Amino acid sequence: MREYGIVVLGAGGVGKSALTARFVKGEFPEHYNPTIEEQYQREIEVSGEPISLDILDTAGAEQFTALNEVYITSGHGFLLVFSLTDEASLRNLDNIRQQILHIKGDESDIPIVIVGTKQDLYTEREVTRQTIQEYTTRWGLPLYETSAKKNWHVKDVFEELTVRMRKRYPSP
Ligand code: GDP
Ligand code: MG
């Protein structure tokens, strides 16, 4: 079975762990653990092919660390996560995106998906669809709005990234 490594990056508190837990365990975590870093394994089927995903939920990437550099070097695909309730967390993704491009060097078409979280928090929403599209169009990256709590579009995010990894790295 083909196996790909996914790295989940974004500022602290945006919902990286909730998104990952929803996909891997099928549940929304009750207890908020802000710093823990975890690695998970899950299979996904894309175009009839079962694929093994190795998912690293990082502790947060506001400051760029040597550890993140190691993760990025070894990862095949990246989820860049921000909260729809926090515009700064979207802006912050540009740094992470540039670090990935820098570390991956000459590689083109690096599989990256932008993920807006907490879509269910309508009244706290700070970022309009138009603002997000200005960023993602400039970056040339796909965007998904999700809710880990309500399980909206979570699987779509992992599917989209897997399709891109499979295309970019036919033999990982
Ligand atoms: P991380 O630091 O990026 O891993 O963020 P967490 O996944 O730990 O989530 C931070 C906080 O946001 C927690 O209190 C979560 O319960 C909450 N949260 C995460 N995702 C959602 C969501 O989709 N909807 C709502 N309402 N809250 C969320
Ligand atoms: Mg976390």
Q: Does ipTM come in above 0.95?
A: yes
Q: What is the pTM of this model?
A: 0.95
pLDDT of residue 64: 63
pLDDT of residue 25: 95
Nearest to 43 by CA among 6, 75, 7: 6
pLDDT band at 51 (very low <50, low <70, confident <90, very high): very high
Mean pLDDT of 70-77: 93
Substitution site in 8, 16, 38 for ligand 1 pocket (most atoms within 8 Å of beta carbon): 16
Residues touching ligand 1 (Cβ under 6 Å) are 10, 12-18, 32, 34, 60, 117-118, 120-121, 147-149
Asked whether the predicted pLDDT for residue 41 surpasses 90, the reply is yes
Quick one: three-class SS letters along 95-153?
Answer: HHHHHHHHHHCCCCCCCEEEEEECCCCHHHCCCCHHHHHHHHHHHCCCEEECECCCCEC
C-alpha–C-alpha distance, residues 145 and 91, integer Å: 16
As a whole number of Å, the end-to-end CA separation of the chain is 10
pLDDT of residue 97: 93
pLDDT, averaged across the chain: 93
Nearest to 165 by CA among 2, 56, 21: 2
pLDDT of residue 107: 72
pLDDT of residue 171: 81
Quick: pLDDT tens for 76-121: 999 999 999 999 999 999 999 999 999 998 677 999 999 999 999 9
pLDDT band at 61 (very low <50, low <70, confident <90, very high): low
C-alpha–C-alpha distance, residues 126 and 155, integer Å: 24
pLDDT of residue 62: 58
User: Are 32 and 13 within 8 A, CB to CB?
Assistant: no
pLDDT of residue 32: 77
Neighbours of ion ligand 2 (CB under 5 A): 16-17
Ligand at minimal distance from the CA of 38 is: 2
